[in-house]
């Protein structure tokens, strides 16, 4: 998560400051020199936005009547990479809502979807008299720097209800919901155009051989293998969420590089997700928008800052006419079974950030981000998170169970049901502990800050806590197929449990770990998303 691109805002601020000394955008002297000019004379010398050539996207009107229309106008110019001065008028009603044009312009740039990283020069030469503003973009290339070093491969631990290789649609499937129902076709050739057009309900038509063509093709392949047409919207959203949490690794190297101008880094774009499988929050948020749009599900990208981080990108997700907050960055977790010098990484997801609220228990003070984007959506975000753990699942052993447990017998039953799936590789499930397991009087299991691990004893696994000093007497979780259990507390109310399988690990490495006396969770990385 660490950082989102804000280079343009800094440049804009610099231009504002410089204007006071250089007079490049000050209105005083310029207005005096031109006070004799009529509106018609001024308009003749300018290029207004409604005079631009016809495009697939609707052109904005000459008069901007709201902040939303201002944002759309700047995004339109960014989308079509218009590298010339373009003018528009500000309505009297809209002008009455802000203190000055520079302040409003800076805010609009900050919360726009596409224009936030381009240097943009604002001219208010004719604003005082005619409410005319002119903007001049400095269009730059982006996403042209691939990671210098791709990290070593990670072991993906799939949630039990994520079918990563469903392949239910066939390799040539093209009948995606967005193909069947859209606002029209829009030609695209870069990744920003691609996700933006789809997110607005248009069918992207990539230029042959372009990077948009390559990425759109890969996005289709992802949806072909993880989604089937008989899935509900909830099941589709879970599949997309798990793909981004489990299969896309966080690009820490770039996020922690300290670079101020990150416009070239692919991890901030769809390139990071679909070409490198290595991205940061912004790249994942855009991919969430694209994949969901292709399935006809409303998902929006939001960006915001808070005091302890420079910025973050996340999503608003609509399900059954309800809006939730969703974050595939904080929902993805890395566990290191090796050392810093020789890492052995497992990538694990959790559902605490799937369909949640502003009261999400991430961190001590809740969410903490307050985006200026989509205020009408932010105001109606649900106050109760979607209860993932209350869902019932049918298992091959004939059991139908939800993911809430109140004692060890229920946990053992659930573990056996998950193991009946007979997955070849590692598999995880997340469960919620109810009533502190008070049914059997043993509250130690869910004490906060306690690290749990398991020790192999013949064909059984015994659960320990307090770093091995105390065995949970009489409580055993049975295992089959030589798999190991790992258990970890998540945010005080739910646990993650996964089984390590031989399908994704070298046999010799498995034997070495099997000979270990115990596996401590303190040897893993701290259970947290990338920060």
Taking the C-alpha atoms of residue 75 and residue 200, their distance in angstroms, rounded to an integer, is 12
Give residue 415's pLDDT band: very low, low, confident or very high (50, 70, 90).
Answer: confident
60 falls within a domain = yes
The answer to whether 317 touches 377, Cβ cutoff 8 Å, is no
Domain end position, chosen among 319, 347, 378: 378
- As beta bridge partners, residue 79 has none
1 falls within a domain = no
529 falls within a domain = no
149 falls within a domain = no
394 and 374 co-located in one domain: no
Taking the C-alpha atoms of residue 85 and residue 403, their distance in angstroms, rounded to an integer, is 58
Cβ within 8 Å of residue 286, ≥6 positions away:
191, 195, 269, 270, 273, 301, 313
Q: Which domain holds residue 345?
A: 155-378
310 falls within a domain = yes
User: Looking at residue 20, what is its pLDDT?
Assistant: 32
Whole-model pTM: value is: 0.82
Taking the C-alpha atoms of residue 111 and residue 121, their distance in angstroms, rounded to an integer, is 17
Lowest mean pLDDT among 230-239, 336-345, 399-408, 451-460: 451-460
200 and 76 co-located in one domain: no
Question: What's the structural domain count of the chain?
Answer: 3
Taking the C-alpha atoms of residue 176 and residue 319, their distance in angstroms, rounded to an integer, is 18
On the CB side of 296, CA atoms within 13 Å amount to 15
Taking the C-alpha atoms of residue 70 and residue 58, their distance in angstroms, rounded to an integer, is 14
The answer to whether 225 touches 166, Cβ cutoff 8 Å, is yes
- Among 99-108, 165-174, 400-409, top mean pLDDT goes to 99-108
Give residue 95's pLDDT band: very low, low, confident or very high (50, 70, 90).
Answer: very high
Q: What CATH number has the domain bearing residue 363?
A: 3.10.620
Taking the C-alpha atoms of residue 238 and residue 292, their distance in angstroms, rounded to an integer, is 11
Residue percentage of the chain with pLDDT more than 70: 69
> How far is the CA of 278 from the CAs of 58, 252, 263, 272, 275, in angstroms?
34, 9, 16, 5, 8
Residue 530 pLDDT > 50, yes or no?
no
pLDDT tens, position by position, 161-210: 888 888 789 889 999 999 999 999 999 999 999 999 999 999 999 999 99
2 vs 59 pLDDT, higher one: 59
The answer to whether 194 touches 79, Cβ cutoff 8 Å, is no
pLDDT tens, position by position, 284-310: 999 999 999 999 999 999 999 877 666
Domain end position, chosen among 317, 345, 378: 378
User: Looking at residue 481, what is its pLDDT?
Assistant: 25
Residue 146 pLDDT > 70, yes or no?
yes
Taking the C-alpha atoms of residue 360 and residue 350, their distance in angstroms, rounded to an integer, is 13
Q: Dihedrals φ, ψ of 297, to 5°?
A: -115, 125
109 and 203 co-located in one domain: no
Taking the C-alpha atoms of residue 372 and residue 359, their distance in angstroms, rounded to an integer, is 18
Taking the C-alpha atoms of residue 179 and residue 184, their distance in angstroms, rounded to an integer, is 9
270 falls within a domain = yes
248 and 345 co-located in one domain: yes
pLDDT tens, position by position, 480-508: 223 344 555 444 444 555 544 433 333 33
278 and 258 co-located in one domain: yes
For all residues of the chain together, what is the average pLDDT? Answer: 76
The answer to whether 282 touches 7, Cβ cutoff 8 Å, is no
Cβ within 8 Å of residue 366, ≥6 positions away:
358, 359, 360
pLDDT tens, position by position, 44-60: 999 999 999 999 999 99
73 vs 340 pLDDT, higher one: 73
327 and 433 co-located in one domain: no
168 and 213 co-located in one domain: yes
37 and 159 co-located in one domain: no
**Parallel/antiparallel/unpaired status of strands 249-250 and 278-279:** parallel
319 and 253 co-located in one domain: yes
Helix (H) or strand (E) holding 225: helix 211-226
Taking the C-alpha atoms of residue 110 and residue 373, their distance in angstroms, rounded to an integer, is 9
**Parallel/antiparallel/unpaired status of strands 85-90 and 63-64:** parallel
400 and 364 co-located in one domain: no
Cβ within 8 Å of residue 309, ≥6 positions away:
1, 2, 3, 531
Taking the C-alpha atoms of residue 445 and residue 239, their distance in angstroms, rounded to an integer, is 30
- As beta bridge partners, residue 132 has 89, 126
**Parallel/antiparallel/unpaired status of strands 427-433 and 494-500:** antiparallel
Taking the C-alpha atoms of residue 364 and residue 367, their distance in angstroms, rounded to an integer, is 9
229 falls within a domain = yes
Q: Mean of the pLDDT values across residues 369-391?
A: 92
Domain end position, chosen among 358, 378, 398: 378
398 falls within a domain = yes
Taking the C-alpha atoms of residue 481 and residue 420, their distance in angstroms, rounded to an integer, is 10
88 and 174 co-located in one domain: no
274 and 421 co-located in one domain: no
C-alpha closest to that of 214 among 279, 150, 273: 273
């Amino acid at each position: 998560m660490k950082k989102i691109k804000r280079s343009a805002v800094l440049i804009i601020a610099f231009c504002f400051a410089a204007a006071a000394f250089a007079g490049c955008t000050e209105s005083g002297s310029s207005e005096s020199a031109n006070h004799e000019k009529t509106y018609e004379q001024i308009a003749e010398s300018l290029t207004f936005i409604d005079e631009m050539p016809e495009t697939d996207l609707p052109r904005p009107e000459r008069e901007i009547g709201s902040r939303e229309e201002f944002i759309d106008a700047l995004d339109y110019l960014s989308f079509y990479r218009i590298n010339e001065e373009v003018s528009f008028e500000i309505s009297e009603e809209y002008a009455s809502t802000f203190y000055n044009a520079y302040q409003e312009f800076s805010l609009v740039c900050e919360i726009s979807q596409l224009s936030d990283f381009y240097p943009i020069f604002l001219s208010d030469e004719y604003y005082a008299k005619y409410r005319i503003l002119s903007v001049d973009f400095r269009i730059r290339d982006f996403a042209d720097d691939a990671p210098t070093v791709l990290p070593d491969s990670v072991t993906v631990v799939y949630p039990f209800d994520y079918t990563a290789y469903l392949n239910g649609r066939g390799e040539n499937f093209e009948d995606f919901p967005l193909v069947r129902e859209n606002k029209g076709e829009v030609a695209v050739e870069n990744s920003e155009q691609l996700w933006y057009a789809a997110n607005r309900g248009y069918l992207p038509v990539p230029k042959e051989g372009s990077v948009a063509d390559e990425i759109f093709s890969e996005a289709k392949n992802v949806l072909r293998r993880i989604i089937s047409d008989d899935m509900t919207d909830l099941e589709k959203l879970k599949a997309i969420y798990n793909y981004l949490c489990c299969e896309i690794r966080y690009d820490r190297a770039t996020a922690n590089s300290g670079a101020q101008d990150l416009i070239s880094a692919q991890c901030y774009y769809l390139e990071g997700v679909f070409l490198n499988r290595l991205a940061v929050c912004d790249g994942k948020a855009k991919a969430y928008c694209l994949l969901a749009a292709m399935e006809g599900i409303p998902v929006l990208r939001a960006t915001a800052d808070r005091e302890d981080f420079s910025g973050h990108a996340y999503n608003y997700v609509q399900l059954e006419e309800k809006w939730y907050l969703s974050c595939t960055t904080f929902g993805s977790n890395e566990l290191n079974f090796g050392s810093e010098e020789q890492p052995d990484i497992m990538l694990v997801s959790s559902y605490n950030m799937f369909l949640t609220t502003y009261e999400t228990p991430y961190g001590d003070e809740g969410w903490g981000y307050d985006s200026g984007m989509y205020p009408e959506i932010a105001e109606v975000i649900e106050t109760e998170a979607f209860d993932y753990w209350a869902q019932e699942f049918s298992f091959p052993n004939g059991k139908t169970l939800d993911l809430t447990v109140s004692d060890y017998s229920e946990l053992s039953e659930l573990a056996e049901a998950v193991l009946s799936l007979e997955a070849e590789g590692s598999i995880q499930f997340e469960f919620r502990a109810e009533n502190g397991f008070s049914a059997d009087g043993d509250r130690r299991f869910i004490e906060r800050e306690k690290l749990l691990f398991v020790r192999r004893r013949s064909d059984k696994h015994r659960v320990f806590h307090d770093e091995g000093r105390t065995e949970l007497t009489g409580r055993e979780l049975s295992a089959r197929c030589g798999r190991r259990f790992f258990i970890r507390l998540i945010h005080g109310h739910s646990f993650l449990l996964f089984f390590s399988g031989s399908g994704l690990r070298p046999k010799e490495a498995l034997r070495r770990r099997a000979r270990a006396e115990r596996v401590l969770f303190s040897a893993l990385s701290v259970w947290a998303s990338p920060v």
